[in-house]
Amino acid sequence: MAIATIKWVRDCARIIDQTKLPNKLEYICCRDVDTMWHAIKRLSVRGAPAIGVAAAFGVLSGIRAFKGQDRGRFVKLVYDTCAYLATSRPTAVNLFNMLARMKAVIARHPQANVDQLNKALHQEAMDIFKEDQKVCRAIGDHGAALIKNGMTALTVCNAGALATVDYGTALGVFYSAQKMGRKFKVFSCETRPLLQGARLTCWELMRAKIDTTLICDNMAATLMRQKKIGIIFAGADRIAANGDAANKIGTYMLAVLAKHHGVPFYIVAPKSTFDLNIKSGAQIPIEERKPEEITHWNGIPAAPRGVKVYNPAFDVTPARLIHGIVTEYGIIRAPYVRNIKNIISRPKETSPGVKVKDL
Ligand code: MRU
């Protein structure tokens, strides 16, 4: 079920404030780049594809107040705004890929004046927005082929409508399967420490009337041993050229368990989440977040004051544990180095819409 997670409304980027869910559905209007930077940093807008769109809209917010016709000053503002937004979060490569697209607009228009550049940047941001809508639906339709009637799937974090413009990647698979009339159930890991699974995935799936059961992260092994999980779908924040995939902390643990119990484990992500500049997951920068996310719960201390804390927000699942990567082009299988190169380096014109089933 589509949810308008992020949208350009008149002259501001309107986002759902996901820190308030599931208790309140509130929106924030990002009219300047600072508001957007902080929204990304504190996870009001989160999830790799949504962060990418937020970055593009953040650039529009950053140039909104520019006055005059000095091209040099305008171009400097665009570059400075991109550099600033790039410091908000380090792991999701969509952020950097979309900022690169916004900067490329400048390079493509060497003779354009400020008004023309402004228009071209708006157009690029809207293209990024619309592509996400289209790509997620293509991903969902490809992934839905993996869901058989009666199956129970497991997912982690939130790779849903709330992590994209409006449809989702891993949860998009469920939305497409539902549209196709499949009967299935979903278990959602709560996803410590920020509970994206409990707060966001359960909210979204229940809203869509998908049979959803919440579990604590440490219950996944038991469920797999009891043969209650038929398949696992997780999103990704960055996928290296060899197929290693960074996603929310705890994803790797599920992949190891899945291997042990013979459960197929799939990563679901668009082309914009691939980073072909890095050979393996070892090169993916992993965000470390503040200790209070673990030591406190809703402002209430949940650990002794002064305890040492380690809080990496993501982990890397090695490609050998991944059954397939569901993309807008179809499902990429091993050998990943060759297949990712062939599929993901395709020119833009042959992207979604090309019906390739299993690659
Ligand atoms: O810290 P978050 O909530 O931004 O982490 C999000 C995830 O790990 C998602 O699974 C990933 O970005 C894919 S979203 C389609």
CATH topology of domain 142-344: Rossmann fold (3.40.50)
- Which own/partner contact pairs does 335-342 have at CB distance under 8 Å and 24+ positions apart? 336/242, 336/243, 337/241, 337/242, 337/243, 340/239, 340/241, 340/242, 340/243, 340/274, 340/276, 341/241, 341/276
Ligand 1: centre distance to CA 258 (Å): 20
Ligand 1: centre distance to CA 38 (Å): 17
Question: Residue 327 carries which DSSP code?
Answer: E
164 CB within 6 A, ligand 1: yes
Cα 160 to chain center, whole Å?
Answer: 8
Query: pLDDT per residue over 225-249, tens digit each?
Result: 999 999 999 999 999 999 999 999 9
CATH of 6-136, one of 1.20.120.420, 3.40.50.20, 1.20.90.10, 1.10.10.10: 1.20.120.420
In this structure, the number of other CB atoms found within 10 A of the CB of residue 192 comes to: 17
92 CB within 6 A, ligand 1: yes
Return the pLDDT at 175.
Answer: 98
Is-cis flag, bond preceding 90, omega within 30?
no
173 CB within 6 A, ligand 1: no
Ligand 1: centre distance to CA 305 (Å): 29
155 CB within 6 A, ligand 1: no
User: Nearest to residue 52, comparing CAs of 93, 82, 15, 87?
Assistant: 93
Cα 212 to chain center, whole Å?
Answer: 21
Residue 352 has pLDDT above 90, yes or no: no
Closest ligand 1 atom to Cα of 156: 10
Ligand 1: centre distance to CA 204 (Å): 15
316 CB within 6 A, ligand 1: no
Q: Please indicate whether residue 237 is annotated as part of the active site.
A: yes
Q: Which two tokens mark 88?
A: 């908000």
Query: pLDDT per residue over 289-331, tens digit each?
Result: 999 999 999 899 999 999 999 999 999 999 999 999 999 999 9
Ligand 1: which of 189, 201, 237 to mutate, judged by most atoms within 8 Å of the beta carbon?
237
Domain ranges of the chain: 6-136, 142-344
Cα 271 to chain center, whole Å?
Answer: 11
Of the residues 132, 166, 217, 237, only one is catalytic, namely 237
Whole-angstrom distance, CA of residue 194 vs CA of residue 21: 11
Nearest CA to ligand 1 atom 15: 159
Q: For residues 327 and 142, is the Cβ–Cβ distance under 8 A? A: yes
Task: Dump the DSSP string for 86-131.
Answer: TTS-SS-HHHHHHHHHHHHHHHH-TT--HHHHHHHHHHHHHHHHHH
Closest ligand 1 atom to Cα of 313: 1
Beta strands, E only, the chain: 6-9, 12-16, 27-30, 151-155, 184-189, 212-215, 231-234, 238-240, 245-248, 265-268, 274-275, 296-297, 300-301, 314-317, 324-327, 330-332
Query: pLDDT per residue over 78-124, tens digit each?
Result: 999 999 999 999 999 999 999 999 999 999 999 999 999 999 999 99
User: Nearest to residue 159, comparing CAs of 246, 281, 275, 284?
Assistant: 246
Q: Which two tokens mark 265?
A: 């484990």
Ligand 1: centre distance to CA 238 (Å): 10
In this structure, the number of other CB atoms found within 10 A of the CB of residue 122 comes to: 17
Amino acid at 203: W
Q: What is the pLDDT of the chain when averaged over all its residues?
A: 95
Whole-angstrom distance, CA of residue 340 vs CA of residue 326: 11
Predicted TM-score (pTM) of this structure? 0.95
